[in-house]
Chain A
Amino acid sequence: MLDADFFRRWMTATAASVDREADRLTALDSPIGDADHGSNLRRGFTAVTAALGKEAPGTPGAVLVLAGRQLISTVGGASGPLYGTLLRRTGKALGDAAEVDEQRFAEALRAGVDAVMQLGGAAPGDKTMIDALVPAVDALAEGFAAARAAAGQGAEATTPLQARKGRASYLGERSIGHQDPGATSAALLVAALCTADGE
């Protein structure tokens, strides 16, 4: 079972990983975006860990709702409302249960991913974070390690795609050949589940 502490560890591990990889995320965002993905997400997840350190919500759902709220407030770019919606909607789907099993978490995360697709209007294949998140949710039934692998493969598979959403879409065919920064950071978020799980 996954408790509030697990979800706190998930957010902390994501923050650490975003911090470590911020320069790479920004480098990926330079040719096809506005070169701020790493610094924006770092600012957001720093605010998430600070808020969780102050408030310590008692349920998995409350941890994710608080984290999502912080991201919407502090990121300053499109990844704020997108990741914020992902976490907040997942948290709301978890309700006020003190512990959730992995299947319930998988269902909640799917609701979160659906909300992101609705907010941004992106579908799989549009070269966005969705290309990492959808395969991760599909693989979650087989465990966190499988989800991590699926998200990583999904992120890598964005390289040959042409962007159809966000600033990169203005580049048309010139967006081809670059791995999507949003899918890359989404893979970090999924990989952090394994860290939180002690793998």
Chain B
Amino acid sequence: MSDDDRTVGVVLVSHSAEVAAAVAELARGLTGGGAAVPVAAAGGTEGGGLGTSAELISAAAASVDRGAGVAVLADLGSAVLTVKALLAEGDELPDAARLVDAPFVEGAVAAVVTAAAGGDIDAVEAAAADAYTYRKV
């Protein structure tokens, strides 16, 4: 298996399908031509409304799992709680999936760029979490 096949996957869980998809596109666009990172968006409910879908999250996580870990970033309330509940469930997400405590947009960019640079799941998590420290004022 090549290194590219072992890239950390990233799942973006938002209350909005558009937000999740756009943040995924933004993060991919900023990787600067590095390795293609498997990024999946799990936004909104299955019906296309605002909210969180456990099924979309499980499917997204399975789709980006290359065996090197899956970093899950979530935006608000039910998105965070649903990911935590799925992790507690045990068999709903890949074994190496973890919820990363990070700001959604900045954390997603940091996670995808770090994964594209070949970082492992710990490095991806650390980079995403570190985005909390980038003060803007």
Contacts and interface: CB of A to CB of B under 8 A. Distances in A.
Bound together: yes
Nearest to A84: B85
A114 to B, nearest CB: 13
A72 B89 contact: yes
B78 interface: yes
A119 B84 CA distance: 7
A38 interface: no
Is the contact region of chain A dominated by helix, strand, or loop, or is it mixed? helix
B64 to A, nearest CB: 20
A78 B78 contact: yes
A76 B53 CA distance: 6
A181 interface: no
B41 to A, nearest CB: 16
Contact of B77 (A40, A84, A166): A166
B6 to A, nearest CB: 30
Interface stretch (B20-28, B44-52, B104-112): B44-52
Given A72-B85, A72-B89, A85-B88, A77 B78 contact: yes
B53 A81 contact: no
B47 to A, nearest CB: 8
A187 interface: no
B77 A80 contact: no
B54 interface: yes
A160 interface: no
Interface in B41-86: 45, 49-55, 76-78, 81-82, 84-86
A61 B23 CA distance: 41
Contact of A73 (B49, B51, B54, B81): B54
A73 B55 contact: yes
Contacts of B50: 34
Contacts of A77: 51-52, 77-78
Nearest to B78: A78
A167 interface: yes
A22 to B, nearest CB: 16
B77 A72 contact: no
B85 A76 contact: no
Given A81-B85, A119-B85, A72 B54 contact: yes
A85 B84 CA distance: 10
Interface of A: 34, 36, 40, 69, 72-73, 76-82, 84-85, 88, 119-120, 166-167
Interface of B: 45, 49-55, 76-78, 81-82, 84-86, 88-89
6 contacts: A76-B53, A77-B52, A84-B85, A119-B85, A167-B76, A167-B77
Given A40-B51, A85-B88, 5 more contacts: A36-B51, A72-B54, A76-B52, A76-B53, A80-B85
